[in-house]
Structure 1
C-alpha cells in the first residue's frame, strides 16, 4: 500500500509499502513524526522530524559523506525522541533531496545558506530562539563553520567524528596503518601502501583513489567498521524507505566533485578559534577514519562559553550507532544537566 504524506508546503508520494503514519503535534498528543519537502534556498529539500514533545530541545542533524543521507537510518536513533526533537536533513546532493534536485550542485557556500534557512524555518515552526546542531563526519565541516559564524541561531554545537582537516586526517590515519602493518609483519599490505607513493598526494582526485586502498587495509586491521550489506539492510528497513532511494548514491556521485575539491583544501584552523556557543565533541576513542587525536588537540585550543570532550570506548567513527546506549547517555548528560567537567 502506498501512502502519501502531507506537509505544510505540498503533498509528496515518497513512501512505498511501509507502515508510516505522519503526524504533526496537537494539544492532546505533542509528539511529532513528520517527513516533508520544504523550499530551502531555491530548491525543495527533505526534512524528517521526530520527537515526543515539542517543548524539547530541537536539534538539526547534519549527516556525513558528503552524500550519505541519514534520514533512512533515523529510526535507529528513536530512543533519542524522548529527550530531543530531531530534524534529519537530506542535504543538497544527498538522499531524497538529490533525487528531487539532480542538478543542484552542492558547495560550501550554498550548504551554509541551506543550514541558515533551515534553522530559521525550525525556529519559526517550533517557536525556539535557537536550534542545536548535531554533526557527524563531513557534516562537522559545515556545522563547525556555521556555529562559528551564526551564534545567534545556534544553541550548541555537537561534533561526532569531528573533521579538523581532511588531508591531515589521512596523513595521521595512514601513518597508524603503516605502523600496524609493520607490527604485524604484513608484507602484502606494506607493499600495496608503498605503491601509493606520497599520501594522500597533492590532488583531490588522487587522494580519493588512494583513500580507497588505505580504507581497505584499515578495515582488514580492524581500524574502521563499515559493513555495506548491514548499511543496505538498515536503509531498506526504514519506514521512510522508497526503492528510488537506492539511486541516490549515483546521483550524488555526479554532484560532489567540486565539494571534494573544497574539502581537500579545508582546515578548521583557517577559521576563528573563538566560539560564542557551547562546543561538545563526542568521539569514538578508536576512530582512525577521522583520528580523534586531531579533534582533541583542536578542542584544547579553542575558547567557548563551554567546551567538553567525551570519548566513547570501543567505538570508532560512528559511536552513536556502534555504542548507542553509552552515546545517548553522554548526549543527555551534556545537554540535560551539563554535569560533565569542562577542560
Structure 2
C-alpha cells in the first residue's frame, strides 16, 4: 500500500449543491459514463429512462419530508498532528454535539467534524448514547452506506450508538477540493483514527467498535492494527485481502458467467479488458466488470438490476440522503473510484496483517465475488487475534448486512455481548 503523501491544506468550504431532480445523474449504457466531476449538479438528465421513472416513483413513495435527520450540528476540529490554528489537531472539547461531556438518552442527528483539515459529515443514531459505539466505515472508495445501514440495522441502536461516516470526498462530505490532489489511503486511515479518538472523547468511552465493509476494510485493518488501544473489536464484511488476486478472481467469475449465459454484449466488454495487477485498462472497463458482477449475483445475490440502479435507487427510497445530496454522492464515487483504485489494490494483508490485537468477527457472503469469499476465509483461518469468529451467509454475496439483515444483526449482537464491556 502506498504511504501517505503530503496532507492537503484545508480548502474553503463550498455550499451544498441544490439541483433539480432532472439534473441529478449522467449515465451511458450499463456504466456510470464519463463524468464531469466539476459539475455534478448539471449532469445530463435521466429523463425518459426507466431508471428515471423508478427514481421518481421511489421519491414519491418516500415523501419529500424524509431523507435526513432533523438536526445538523457542528463539531470541533481534530486530527493527529499540527495545531488548532491549522485545523489539524484534536480539539480540546468534544464538539458542539456532545455539549462537552457524555450523556444519556436518544440521539438521531448529523454533525460536521473536521478531520485532519477536512470537513466531513457523520450521523449518530442511538436509543441511549451511553451505550457502546459502533463506527461504520463504508466501502467504495466513495460508496457511502448510511442509508441502507440505517434502513436494515436500526435495531442495533437499541443497545449501541451507531455512527455513520461519510469519508473524505464522499457523499455529504464531497467538495471540489478533493480533486486538488489524489487522496491517499493513509489520509483515510488517519481520518479514521482522528474520528475514533473524537468519538471516544465525545461519548466518554475508552474504546469503540469498528465495522468495515469492502473498501472500509482497507481502512479498518491498518486502523485496528496500529491503534488497538482505541478499538474494542473489529467487524468485517466484504473483507479485502489481496488486491490483485481479488480482481483476478472477480473478473474471471464475470467472464465465466457471461459465457455460460451467452451474453455477447458482456463478453465483448470484458474480453481483453481484464485487470493487470488489479488495475483495469480504463474506468469504463472496470465499471463494465462491476455491472456484470451485479447482474450475475456476485455483488448482491438478490438484486441483479445492474450497477447503477442497485446503487442509486436505494439512495432515493431510504432515509439518510436528500435528493440534493445525490449529485455529490455520484461525483465523489466516480472520482475516488477512478483515481484511488491503483492504491486500493496494492493492499496485501496476507503479508502485512497476519495478527490483530482485538477480537474479530468476519461476516462472509457465500456468493461474494466482489471481494472473493475464499480469500477472506484463508486470511481469517491464519489470522492471530485474541478472539475470532466467522459467520457464513449462504443467501448473500458482498453485503450480508442488507442481504440477510436479521441474521447479520443477531451475529453482531451475539459477538459483541462476548467481547465488549459495558
1:157 aligns with 2:237: no
Alignment of 1:65-76 (within 5 A): 65-76=140-151
Instruction: Identify the residue that residue 54 of structure 2 maps to in structure 1.
Output: none
Preserved CA contact (<8 Å) 2:298 2:398? no
Alignment of 1:179-194 (within 5 A): 179-181=256-258, 184=260, 186=262, 188=264, 191-192=267-268
Cα deviation for residue 196 of structure 1 reads 1.6
Alignment of 1:51-130 (within 5 A): 51-76=126-151, 77-99=153-175, 101-103=177-179, 105-130=182-207
Cα deviation for residue 334 of structure 1 reads 1.0
| Consecutive unaligned residues in structure 2, runs of 5 or more | 1-14, 19-63, 73-96
Match of 1:138 among 190, 203, 215: 215
Q: String of CA shifts for 1:268-293, please: whole Å, max 9, x gaps.
A: 12413121111111011111111111
Instruction: Identify the residue that residue 23 of structure 2 maps to in structure 1.
Output: none
Instruction: Identify the residue that residue 200 of structure 1 maps to in structure 2.
Output: 275
The 1:151/1:207 distance shift into structure 2, 3 A limit, reads farther
Cα deviation for residue 336 of structure 1 reads 1.5
Q: String of CA shifts for 1:190-240, please: whole Å, max 9, x gaps.
A: 85377326x312473516443333334334433333544354333224444
Alignment of 1:191-340 (within 5 A): 191-192=267-268, 195-196=271-272, 199-202=274-277, 204-206=279-281, 208-225=283-300, 226=303, 227=305, 228-229=308-309, 231-248=311-328, 249-337=330-418
The 1:128/1:267 distance shift into structure 2, 3 A limit, reads same
Cα deviation for residue 74 of structure 1 reads 4.0
Q: Distance in 1 between matches of 2:202 and 2:112?
A: 14
2:71 partner SS? coil
The 1:221/1:45 distance shift into structure 2, 3 A limit, reads closer
The 1:194/1:125 distance shift into structure 2, 3 A limit, reads closer
Comparing both chains, which one has the higher relative contact order based on Cα–Cα distances under 8 Å and sequence gaps of 6 or more?
A: 2
1:22 aligns with 2:77: no
Preserved CA contact (<8 Å) 1:36 1:46? yes
Preserved CA contact (<8 Å) 2:148 2:402? no
